[in-house]
Amino acid sequence: MEMRSFSDYLRSIDDAAFLKLFASRPDLVIPVPPDIASLAVRACSAPSLARAIDSLNHWQFQVLEACVSLSEPFLLKNLTAITDRAAAKALDHLISIGLVYPSDDGMRLPSQLRDVIGNEPAGLGPASMVKLKLSEIDDAPQDAKKVLERLVWGPPRGSVGDIKNPGPGVAWLLEKKFLVPLDQRTVILPREVGIYLRGGKIHKQSFVEPPTLTGNKRDERQVNLAAIANISTVLRWVEELLNFWADEPADALRAGGLGVRDLKIISTHLGVDESCTAFIAELAYLSSLISIDADDRIMPSNKFDIWLLQSPAQRWQTLASQWLITSRVSGLVGRLESKNVAALGPELDRVNAAKVRAMTLSILNDNVGIAPDLTSFNALLAWRTPVRRNSSLQEELAAWTLREAEWLGITGQGAISSYGIEFLSGNDLNVINDDLPKTVDHILIQSDNTAIAPGPLEHEISQQLAMMAEIESRGGATVYRFSESTIRRALDHGKTGEEIKNFLAKTSKTPMPQPLEYLISDVSKKHGKLRVGNTSAFIRCEDTSLIAQIMNDKRLDGLALRRIAPEVVICDLDASDTMRILREAGYLPAGESATGIMLMGPRANRAQSKPRPPRVIGEVEIPSEDNLNAAIRALRTGEKSTHKQTHLRQIANEALGALPRTTANETMDLINRFIVQEKSLSIGYADNNGSVTHRIIDPIRVSAGALIARDHATGEVQSFRIPRITGVAPL
Amino acid sequence: MTDGPLIVQSDKTLLLDIDHPLSTECRRAIAPFAELERSPEHIHTYRLTPLGLWNARAAGHDAEQVIDTLIKYSRYAVPHSILIDVAETMSRYGRLRLEADPVHGLILVTTDSAVLEEVIRAKKIQPLLGARIDKETIAVLPSQRGQIKQSLLRLGWPAEDFAGYVDGQAHEIALKENGWKIRPYQELAAEGFWHGGSGVVVLPCGAGKTIVGAAAMAHAKATTLILVTNTVAARQWREELLKRTTLNEDEIGEYSGAKKEIRPVTIATYQVMTKKKNGVYAHLDLFDSYDWGLIIYDEVHLLPAPIFRFTADIQSRRRLGLTATLVREDGMEGEVFSLIGPKRFDVPWKEIESQGYIAPAECIEVRVNLTETERLTYATAEVENRYRYCATTRTKRDVVEALVKKHQGEQILVIGQYIDQLDELSEVLGVPVIKGETPVKEREILFNKFRTGELTTLVVSKVANFSVDLPDATIAIQVSGAFGSRQEEAQRLGRILRPKSDGRGATFYSVISRDTIDQDFAQNRQRFLAEQGYSYKIIDADDVFQGKI
């Protein structure tokens, strides 16, 4: 059977080859295509090809460029001739992922591949139409050589003043067909000439091997020590952040996310910079440890409580695994040059984030014991992904990944740690539990009203202490400071002075200094001396027996009276209701003003709230004459301008001939029909400013959302973006 | 994880567990680059500051040494960010150098022209510079040497000063160790200062700062200007120098309100230096009247502002600042460091105490209850009068009386802020009072009587806060103070810290009115001493009356 097309090739390969193809291009099987033909169509579609090309490294891409610059079908030896002997292996790879396929008479490329790569692969122009005597180039005059030098490494196009009146160098080249005129002002260097001038190769340099990663050598033990410190720190950060928000929930911005002010507050609280704060907040958000509730408050979720109960290794894994796969990029928060992007907000997603992150980590993983130097790291990254679309952020993403990996403890001192390696290979992480510093269950209280926990405190103790003291310094140890306000806070939380003292005495390894003991007693003695509550009315009476009487009066139960002093009773109803009920029960109350003066005379009852009369529905109110006049004026002006515009449009149409108008579906349909019939069309085409011009074109084909057609006005082949075509009509 | 004595916190504080066997060794290792912040009983707090790290660089330590030290003694892994920060901070030092050039005078030279470009564009620096000499060199106005160093420090590019110090006019001075010996820490302090060039030495009150000054003079062997707080202190310096050094009476001059002598060693008071005549400082010429080789600032925490400014202009002379308490409620500590020089020596009070060079002291806060009427008056008093009212209550008088009675036979100082209160106490106790209006002569007579034991009790105002040497005082009773001033409290304790001939300890009473702002201020006042490891004991006034203590 003759094998020419890509689908023929696909029909011929075995399961193993399919497996390889699908593994590297999963988009081909999601969803599973119905047959080989549709698989071939999908594999040859521009988006799929672009994605496959994205996965190539620099060398593979160079080989692909070389393939594109050869005419089909070509043989391996043609390829190696213009590249390097190592191209064979790269070609195998290209075949395995379906970017090149073998046919009976040599290698071929999927039909749309050239479009995806672009017209000028490796800066080479189109193939020459005529046979060239390339050896004559060596004898080219000096002027011509200069021109060639300019064009040889691409872009192959050069502009001349006027093609009819070129300089001597260009004239010689045009004559020899070593340059081809493209239009009035442009000349192009044919591919053969380019390759000849490049010494028979396509590229200046073949990047067969990846650049070596340079950086500082790190000792494994030190790396792991640093990493474990980072791990314990990041766990502490997350816990502290969430505890902070539990006490003082932040308000999400209306546009979503965390405001700059709130970010600053946490940043100060945690003692880290704002980018790190954003990272921690995002980490908690990704791991569902916080939720943004209906009234836009950011608070810890109940998953946080579960998380707290887990072992450190589990806790860390929860954070790290979410970070690994997220498309959100906390590094974007607070960048100087861009507009402000909020942490936890909706604008942090970047498509290539997870990919770059994975690649960054895999580079680290391949270079154990090296803390990479950023320049060399970027060089390697660029080798691995030479043609990433929207790659503008790539270097920053990689830098952020390195920074975040350090914060997380995947790296220590910049080199990948054993925990990071285990984590990336999906292994058990229990070793973290063993390596983290052991928790301590005691503190040391000193006479300057500070307490020091000489290591990570047990959870329960640290929670209690955080309530009764301010944290002054964090790290391996924690320094707490007691003050009047912190003791008050503990009392507000329902602790008694005795409880605080007992807790401290029990937890402290050192005797409690007397001043602290006095401080606690002093504050607890004063605490709650003043009581504050809500009430709406009070009843005052100097006769305590009358007070006793109303307290015991069953008819007044509805007032829910509470005696707060021998002569004062409060109730929940407002003053007028209270008076009414008292009167009904036969008492003789009088009102009292805010200054304590008795209110005399019958007071007319008035509502307390502002009046809001009901809206009138149905009958329309008759507007005032002024309003009516204004409306009429507006109408007249509008009418005049509409009339004028219609008139103008008519004049324009008459001048140009009517612009065709069709709907989007009609447009596609007509275009497809007339491509087949190869007829000229009249179209309306909108430019960047939205103004529509009339064009007469010969449609050629539809490619990537654009109509390729020859424009009668310029005589050039041009692409028209289909959404901008306002209408099509046959001529 | 090791089991070291040091915990490096992520906020750049270092916690040193002093009960750890390696703590002394570790303390010595980190002292060159970390600043001691607090030294209470169990855990001392040091801090890594850019200034401290640059000083360490100046003293010849490099970043690697610092990092090694941190890692070696650290109990937990040292946060990587701190190691990076240390390396980065230290690498900033020395990119700029101040040098003396035979042609251009004082010049600023760089090894990194980008840094020079950055700093010469700074607004604060521009007016201090002269002509650009080449890409890496620029002239500096010689009079602005101090100013430019200070400004560069603030920009984060400290300049290494190679321009050296003027030697001043030579004058033979040596220590005269007849019957006494300089203590090891005094010698260390003097040497630390000498090698550093200029700087501040922090030593507890009563630990013999004068000797450090004398030792520094013996190093300099040059004419010396000594600035002290008041005339009494000036005379004490004079006597001490006569006793401890080879200087004779004719070589030491006093420049004060009373006398204006200028001698090879001149002792001047801050007061006379800052005295204005017709709106100008009349006596600042003193700085130029001799080619001083050394300027000593006693009680440098009191350095008045005009002298601040002047000091900036005499950067080419060696300067030594002496203090016990470098805390200023006005937050000007940094100013002192940048003008006099960085801290060259600091040692926890308790360490000196344990070596027996200062007397062990017990601090007791006596709380008195206000009577019902007093409470009411206090509650309704104007806010600005409240402290005065509660600090001078009648009840305090009874407590003081009881305390004086209890310590009969010992040397007692009663210290207070308000003159009325002091006058009243003096009357009740039947002892003389020394206050601002007491003439210097009378003060000296009274202090002398107190020293000889002729007088056992003295009531003093804040004039005796500093520099008054009363070796045998063992009891101090503080009845009121300058609000929440931490250093005042420490200085007052300092009055009784001289080691006693019989090795007795000292007791410091602070009488406080309960539940008033007096108590709140007391808490702030005590902070410095608490951070030095002095634990206050709180007792009730009734315990004093009943003799329970």
- Residue A595's φ and ψ, nearest 5 degrees, are -90, 5
Closest A-chain CA to B522: A515
Give the number of beta-carbon pairs within 8 Å between A and B: 107
B42: which chain A residues are within 8 Å (Cβ-Cβ)?
444, 446, 452, 510
| Chain A residues within 8 A of B8 when measuring between CB atoms | 475-476
Can you give the three-state secondary structure of A428-488, one letter per residue? Answer: CCCHHHHHCCCCECCEEECCCCEEEECCCECHHHHHHHHHHCEEEECECCEEEECCHHHHH
Distance, CA of A332 to CA of A340 (rounded, Å): 8
This complex has an ipTM of 0.81
Structural domain includes residue B174: no
The answer to whether A529 and A558 have CB atoms below 8 angstroms apart is no
Mean pLDDT of B14-30: 90
Distance between B387 CA and the closest CA of chain A, angstroms: 19
Q: Domain check: are B318 and B364 in the same one?
A: no
Give yes or no: residues B535 and B416 share one domain. Answer: yes
Asked whether B145 and B98 are in contact (CB, 8 A), the reply is yes
- Positive/negative CA dihedral, B67, B72, B76, B77: positive
Q: Rounded CA gap, B349 and B493, in Å? A: 12
Task: Output DSSP code: residue B49.
Answer: -
Averaged pLDDT for residues B253-263: 85
Question: By residue range, what is the domain housing residue B38?
Answer: 6-92
How confident is the model at residue A622, as a pLDDT? Answer: 58
Each residue's pLDDT tens digit, B206-224: 888 889 999 999 988 999 9
CA distances from A375 to A134, A213, B257, B509, B533 (A): 41, 9, 68, 65, 51
**Looking at CA atoms only, how far is residue A493 from chain B in angstroms?**
23
May I ask the CATH class of domain A6-118? mainly alpha
Question: Tens of pLDDT along B447-467?
Answer: 888 888 888 898 988 877 766
Same domain, B189 and B300: yes
Q: How many domains does chain B have?
A: 4
Yes or no, beta carbons of A225 and B15 under 8 Å apart: no
Average pLDDT over residues B422-444: 88
Give A55-64 pLDDT, tens digit per residue.
888 888 888 8
Q: What is the predicted pLDDT for the residue at B333?
A: 67
A461 backbone φψ class: left, alpha, beta (φ>0; ψ -120 to 50): alpha
Q: Please tell me the CATH code under which domain A656-730 is placed.
A: 2.30.30.100
Residues B82 and B114 grouped into a single domain = no
Domain boundary among B323, B349, B375: B349
Helix, strand, coil shares, percent, chain B, to 5: 40, 20, 35
Could you tell me which residues are beta bridge partners of residue B138? B108, B132
**Domain-located, residue B400:** yes
What is the pLDDT at residue A628? 62
Q: Do A454 and B17 touch (CB under 8 A)?
A: yes
Q: Chain A: residue nearest B4 by CA? A: A454
Has residue B32 got a pLDDT over 90?
A: no
Distance CA A618, CA B110 (A): 85
CB contact (8 A) between residue B43 and residue A230: no
On the question of pLDDT at B328 being above 80, the answer is: no
A residues 33..92 contacting B (CB < 8 A): none
**Are A475 and B10 in contact (CB < 8 Å)?**
yes
Whether residue A652 is predicted with pLDDT greater than 70 in this model: the reply is no
Integer angstrom CA distances of residue A47 from A50, A334, B375: 5, 33, 85
Is A337 strand, coil or helix? coil
| A374 touches B: beta carbon within 8 Å | no
Structure tokens at B121: 């564009």
d(CA B438, CA B427): 16
Q: What is the pLDDT of residue B549?
A: 64
| Segment holding B346, helix H or strand E | strand B343-346
pLDDT digits (tens, 9 = 90+) for A228-269: 888 988 998 898 899 888 888 888 888 888 888 889 998 888
pLDDT at A638 over 60: no
Write the pLDDT tens digit of every residue in A531-563. Answer: 888 888 888 888 888 888 888 888 888 888 888
Q: How far is the C-alpha of B202 from the C-alpha of B36, rounded, in Å?
A: 11
Residue B514: the pLDDT is 87
- Distance CA(A166)–CA(A160), nearest Å, equals 7
Q: Where are the domains of chain A?
A: 6-118, 134-197, 217-435, 444-526, 537-584, 656-730
Q: For residue B212, what pLDDT is reported?
A: 92
Domain boundary among B126, B161, B196: B161
Dist CA A617 CA A324 (whole Å): 59
Query: Residue with structure tokens 């995947």?
Result: A410
- B206 and B315, same structural domain? yes
Look at residues B36, B66, B92 and tell me which one is the last residue of a structural domain. B92
User: Minimum mean pLDDT among A508-517, A705-714, B177-186: which range?
Assistant: A705-714
In-domain check, residue B233: yes
Q: Does A437 touch chain B (CB under 8 A)?
A: yes
The mean pLDDT value for B302-325 works out to: 74
Q: Mark yes or no for CB contact A452/B42 under 8 Å.
A: yes
Contact state of B526 with A515 under an 8 Å Cβ cutoff: yes
Question: Which residue of chain B is at minimal alpha-carbon distance from A456?
Answer: B76
Contact B162, B99 (CB under 8 A): yes
CA–CA dist B213, B206 (Å, integer): 14
| pLDDT reading at B349 higher than 70 | yes
For chain A, the average pLDDT equals: 82
Q: Is the pLDDT of residue A390 over 50?
A: yes
**Residues 479-538 of chain A whose Cβ lies under 8 A from any Cβ of chain B:** 479, 510, 513-515, 518-519, 522, 526
Quick one: B334 and B306 in the same domain? yes
Contact A589, A566 (CB under 8 A): no
Q: Which residues of B touch A474 (CB under 8 A)?
A: 9-11
Q: What is the mean pLDDT of residues B173-190?
A: 87
Please indicate, yes or no, whether residues B109 and B220 belong to a single structural domain of this protein. no
Largest pairwise CA distance in chain A? 128
Average the pLDDT over B352-370 and give the result: 88
Q: Is residue B510 very low, low, confident or very high in pLDDT (cuts 50, 70, 90)?
A: very high
| Domain-embedded: residue B427 | yes
Residue of B nearest to A448 (CA): B530
| Inter-chain CB proximity B9 and A479 less than 8 Å | yes
Q: What CA–CA distance (Å, rounded) separates A100 from A93? A: 9
Nearest to B76 among A229, A412, A474 (CB): A229
Question: Is B103 in the same domain as B195?
Answer: no
Domain-located, residue B168: no
Q: Is the pLDDT of residue B509 over 80?
A: yes
* CATH number, domain containing residue B440: 3.40.50.300
The SS3 of residue B20 is coil
- Residue A431 in contact with partner chain B when CB distance is under 8 A: no
Residues B11 and B110 placed together within one structural domain of the fold: no
Q: What would you report as the CA-atom Rg of chain A, rounded to the nearest whole angstrom?
A: 40
Do B388 and B328 reside in the same domain of the chain? no
Query: In B, which residues are within 8 Å of A449 by CB distance?
Result: 530
Residue B61 lies in a domain: yes
Q: Which residue(s) pair with B413 in the sheet?
A: B458, B476
Among A220, A270, A446, the strongest candidate for a mutation testing the B interface, having the largest count of B CBs within 10 A, is A446
Query: Does residue B365 sit in helix, strand or coil?
Result: strand
CA atoms lying within 13 Å on the CB side of residue B27: 20
Q: If interface means Cβ-Cβ distance under 8 Å, which residues of chain B face chain A?
A: 1, 7-11, 13, 15, 17, 38, 40-43, 45, 74-80, 83, 365, 515, 519, 523, 526-527, 530-531, 533-538
C-beta atoms of A229 and B526 within 8 A: no
Residue of B492 and A32 predicted with greater confidence = B492
| Residue A621 predicted with pLDDT over 60 | no
Grade residue A620 by pLDDT with cuts at 50, 70 and 90: very low
- To which H or E segment does residue B540 belong? strand B536-540
Question: In the predicted model, is pLDDT for residue A146 greater than 50?
Answer: yes
**Residue A719: is its pLDDT beyond 70?**
yes
Lowest-confidence pick of A279-283, A417-421, B503-507: B503-507
Indicate whether B172 belongs to any domain: no
Q: What is the pLDDT of residue B312?
A: 56
Length of chain B, in residues: 549
In this predicted structure, the answer to whether residue A1 has a pLDDT above a threshold of 50 is: no
Across-strand partners of B364? Answer: B509, B537
Model pLDDT for residues A202-228, shown as the tens digit of each residue: 788 878 888 888 888 888 888 888 888
B9:A475 CB<8 A? yes
* Closest CA in chain A for residue B3: A437
Residue B177: inside a domain: no
In this structure, the answer to whether residues B306 and B256 fall within a common structural domain is yes
Is residue B112 located within the same domain as residue B34? no
Residues of A in contact with B77 (CB under 8 A): 225-226, 228-229, 476
From CA B528, how far away is CA A652, in angstroms rounded?
A: 89
Nearest CA in chain B to A523: B515
B13 with A479: Cβ contact below 8 A = yes
CA nearest to A484 within chain B: B520
Give per-residue pLDDT as tens, A413-445.
889 999 999 999 888 888 888 888 888 889 999
From A194-198, A406-410, A523-527, the region with the lowest mean pLDDT: A194-198
